[in-house]
Structure 1
């Protein structure tokens, strides 16, 4: 799976978490992502899906599938804005936490 596809998975994971938090079951009120590759949070291309993770540090609105079948057609729609800050961990790894 490519880095842009992983970024889309992060967004869909957040969306899935939001659907589970409807009162039908008890869930944690945070979404955590951990990465070990610099291209997730840094690079020359800050267009498309990269802008959310490399420049704006926030996910919101319609996030379109960045590659493959359904590119720029299939999307994930977030109804709120979710800000985050990349935190250093160790050995080049970083993580972020989105509180919901």
Structure 2
């Protein structure tokens, strides 16, 4: 989710700095499934090296 040119849909939370919140539509397979996140969460990537990053979100 960290790398790539697509910044829409589910990728907006991970690549564009959007807050993770509200209704999230399932990004693969049938698009009719969703879940709801209460509160707002910022994705803050931490670099491990030149090719890897991670983030931790406590919900």
User: Is the structural similarity TM-score above 0.5?
Assistant: yes
2:25 counterpart of 1:64: yes
Higher helix share: 1
* Structure 2 gaps, min length 5: none
Deviation at 1:80? 0.5
TM-score, normalised on structure 1? 0.52
Return the structure number with greater relative CO, CA threshold 8 A, min gap 6: 1
Task: Count residues with an aligned counterpart.
Answer: 59
Q: CA RMSD in A?
A: 1.7
| Segments of 4+ moved more than 3 angstroms | none
Question: Residues 60 and 80 of structure 1 are in contact (CA less than 8 Å); yes or no, is this contact kept in structure 2?
Answer: yes
TM-score, normalised on structure 2? 0.81
* Structure 1 gaps, min length 5: 1-39
